[in-house]
Amino acid sequence: MRYPIGRFGGDHEAHALLPVQIRHLDDRLQVALPAAVDAVALQAELAQRAGLPAGAVSMRQAQVAPWMDAGWAPLGDP
């Protein structure tokens, strides 16, 4: 993204990356992704890695702001 530099003129090119954020809420694992993903493919992959049937993982898309809610933490490197 490009941001104008007000005082000195010109533009600043931003290359910041937002981390995947996770939190445990009761018996659920909530995941906030900074980019759009194929929900069906993600659901199938999560179920496969957990050793569960495909229908056992439920997903819901929502607009969230992890930095405004308690309990969110960046997903660490594996």
Three-state secondary structure string covering 16-66: CCCCCEEEEECCEEEEECCCCCCHHHHHHHHHHHHCCCHHHCCCCCCCCCH
Whole-structure pTM value? 0.62
Q: Are 59 and 42 in contact (CB under 8 A)?
A: yes
Which pair of tokens denotes residue 32?
A: 């906030």
Distances (CA, A) of 27 to 24, 33, 50, 77: 7, 20, 15, 23
Q: What is the predicted pLDDT for the residue at 52?
A: 93
Per-residue confidence at 34, pLDDT binned at 50, 70, 90?
confident
